Amino acid sequence: MRILIVQESDWLKRGPHQQHQLADRLSLKGHQIRVIDYEILWREQTKKELFSRRQVFQDIGKINPQAKVTVIRPGIIKIPILDYVSLVFTHQREIARQIAEFQPDVVVSFGILNNYLALRAAKKHKIPFIYYWIDVLHHLIPIKPLQFIGQFLESRALRQADRVLTINDKLRDYVLSAGATDKKTRVIRAGIDIEQFKPSGKSSEIRQTYRLRENDVVLFFMGWLYHFSGLKEVALELAKTDDPRLKLLIVGEGDAFEDLKRIQEKHNLQDRVILTGQKPYTEMPAFIEASDICLLPAYPREKVMQDIVPIKLYEYLAMEKPVIATRLPGIMQEFGEDNGVVYINEPEDTIVKAKSLAESDKMGEFGIKARKFVEKYSWNKLTAEFEEILREATGSSKF
């Protein structure tokens, strides 16, 4: 099967997300995958240029180096607002080119602007179109007035898509309220690689590298560091405690990285707030294993967090680690109250809850429950489910 994926994020530097997991595995099963992506991080680059040229990256394996995904990145004008305007023209041209050259059997979209362009092209050429939701994307548009336009385009696409997929039940409720029809909408949850993310009993190397002692209680977060991730609030609360055993280990880059560095320096937390920067995905199991408690302390009222369930939660739980998370509706609906997740009301509550949890005798119990809950969500099973939906969409069977 020839599968064309479109998205408005950087396939190479962001993630891995749902689409990376599924695309790599489908590639290994013999399907041809092409991705049209967007250089969303261009503002952070040191290289200054007014526009970029079209680039093609061959044989990309985000999760598995043996995967062979082709990533096409159309050029854009690198000026705020004009980057989105130029995207409309260059992505429209690229989508038309890929339909002519690649002749995809199905188009799968994770975007907004290029999603609508891909939908129109797919309808014109009678190609099945699948709209896949892992976030409420219009909330992430940095220019507030454009969020309304994004929401409008999402709603139009939800009504016209041949299939709508979401990553969890709460997000499914949202897309139904936004225009999707029940019979066309399905949930394919986030998952884990059962073999990659499993406890090995070996955590000493990471702890030695970052000077973490045996009796330290290590709180861990991995992923993109949004300002609303709650990590700045956790670091500031950590600065108020006089317990040197409590450590915060953060793996990742993003908007809040420099603020976290300033907090670290201002409060002399260099040995208690550890910022590693970006690390290879293959190293994440070792980092999680080296921790004691994993975190998702995002602002509970942040709109973009209301309906999603980040993949990292499944990976934390698979490693038999208890998770402290704010009471986000999607997460509470997905994991409930007794499957390894402990809830707090605000990010500032993290340290008190972590101390209480560490001093209890329930850490092991939470870990066992966590692993048991997520074992049913293997990526191999979810990929097979997604593959079957693609076959249904390209065949005559209906939901």
| Mean pLDDT in order along the chain per 10 residues (399 residues) | 95 91 96 96 81 95 94 95 92 97 97 92 97 83 77 91 93 92 93 87 85 94 94 96 94 94 96 95 93 94 81 93 93 89 96 93 88 89 94 70
Q: What are phi and psi of 219, to 5 degrees?
A: -95, 135
| 30: amino acid identity, one letter | G
| 48: amino acid identity, one letter | K
Strand partners, 71: 35, 57
User: What is the structure's pLDDT at 204?
Assistant: 78
User: What is the structure's pLDDT at 396?
Assistant: 46
User: What is the structure's pLDDT at 279?
Assistant: 93
What are the structural domains of the chain? 2-191+378-394 (3.40.50.2000), 204-374 (3.40.50.2000)
User: What is the structure's pLDDT at 95?
Assistant: 98
What is the C-alpha separation between 68 and 60, in angstroms, rounded? 5
User: What is the structure's pLDDT at 34?
Assistant: 98
pLDDT tens figures, 263-293? 999 999 999 999 999 999 889 999 999 999 9
User: What is the structure's pLDDT at 156?
Assistant: 92
User: What is the structure's pLDDT at 397?
Assistant: 47
| 297: amino acid identity, one letter | P
